[in-house]
Structure 1
Amino acid sequence: MPSANSLDYTFHKTKETKEKKSSAKMFSRCSHILWILIICDAVSGDHVMRAVNNETVFTPATGSVAPSTSSIIWKHRDNAGVVVKVIEWDREDGSTDIPNPKFKSHASLDKSTGELTLKYLKLTHTGVYTIDINSKEQRKRFTLTVIEPVHKPYITKKCVKDVPECSLSCEGEDGSTESTITWKNAAGEMLNERDRSITVMTESSIPENFYTCTRKNAVSEETSDPVYEKDLVHGSKKATIVVATVIPLTVVVLILIGLVRYFRGRQSRK
């Protein structure tokens, strides 16, 4: 039978072993997480969206361009995986070259910071940009997505005779496939945030009230000219207004003609 001292020693030894294993597992997990953070930080970058004809600037990591830097090359990889040089600079001959026609008149380089500026953006400038400093590619990536801005929409109306409502549609060319439509009234109240068309009642219209539609995507926003409720009076109401105006005028004219003939007849008999 084991002595009390032997049991006590075994208990403490087992506890110490478990604590060491637990510490080892914790260290392993922390190290794994640390490496993941380091790798993610190393390959992280900017992801920007811009409208056609706008501009953007890509800035390398701080300190990556030193006074002793001898060469800088920016590259572009399109969605098909084709890689071309955007712009390159070499200290030895002091030249800056833009070898690809796609970037001529669009790209410029700040040699002291390594910043790449792209102006008058086109859809073909969409892609991933990387920078080589002293012939070594940096880990940071810059992703650019260029899309068409929305165009100013206009509202068309469709009113049916004898029906006290009108259908309004938000129309216009739209190069973006991811635009949204928002309808508002004169008070700025949101009427609809999804549909291209809305139905408005005209039975008890307020002449000063109006409706607008706004198209919006990730890079731009445009609002239509307003359509007033007073302009939504359809055929039946217009006919009612015309009849209500013409009939009284006709009666007045007939009465005047009768009075003129009456007085002329009296004068002729004298």
Structure 2
Amino acid sequence: MSLSAQQAWLWQAILAGGAQDADATVHAGTLPPQARLGIYAGGYRLRLLECMRATFPLLQAALGDRLFDAFALDYIAAHPSRSHTLHALGTGFATHLAATRPARSDADDGDWADFMIALATFERALCEVYDGPGDEHREEGGEDDTLAPARSLRLLTLSHPVHECLRRHHTGQPIEAMPARTTHLALARVAYRVVVEAINPVEHAIFTRILQDGLAAGLADVRAGAGDEGLALWLQRQQRRGLLVGRRG
């Protein structure tokens, strides 16, 4: 067997959890070949599981270690990592939870499952905003210091106010399912720190318009509803939040 063929075989064996015939390929010394292959497979999954725990600490706290690990390992098995970096590992976790959620019934409206899916969506967004592009190197008064939405700006619409779990987690309170309430959030990275702002439906619509059609279109909508004075106050508020950056020309 060529080196490339051996490497391909080992990779597939690790993905399969070591459940392959290793006798002809793995030189195991005194350790049975299947056991040695199992070490590689187990170590690989443990590393991925550690990455998932680091990305979704709130969800882990809400579910408990055993249940979280079961969901995470099921996701890892269904969606093996295809990237050279583990940063993208949890990208589809919330989608996987939604696709594998228990069927709804008259006795159970699925609120618990919706809460978990919303929490996973929120935590993944936090990770992406933190590691994504930002405005920390924007020079005040420089050529790029014109008014614009933050490069890191991210909008979410979730079934539950799961952003409140951040405060609970930081203060050592238990994270438990909460009543459903449609929640709009704006996330941005300010001075290497992710800020999370609860925004109302009107603000969400305005920021959506800005991201889709440009700043001028969004500001025109604000001016049409609030006038010039209202627009000025709105701009000040969003700049304080870090959702808009730069100076208005």
Pick the TM interval, shorter chain: under 0.3
User: When the two structures are superposed, what TM-score results if normalisation uses the length of structure 1?
Assistant: 0.20
Structure ID, larger Rg: 1
User: When the two structures are superposed, what TM-score results if normalisation uses the length of structure 2?
Assistant: 0.21
More strand by share: 1
More helix by share: 2
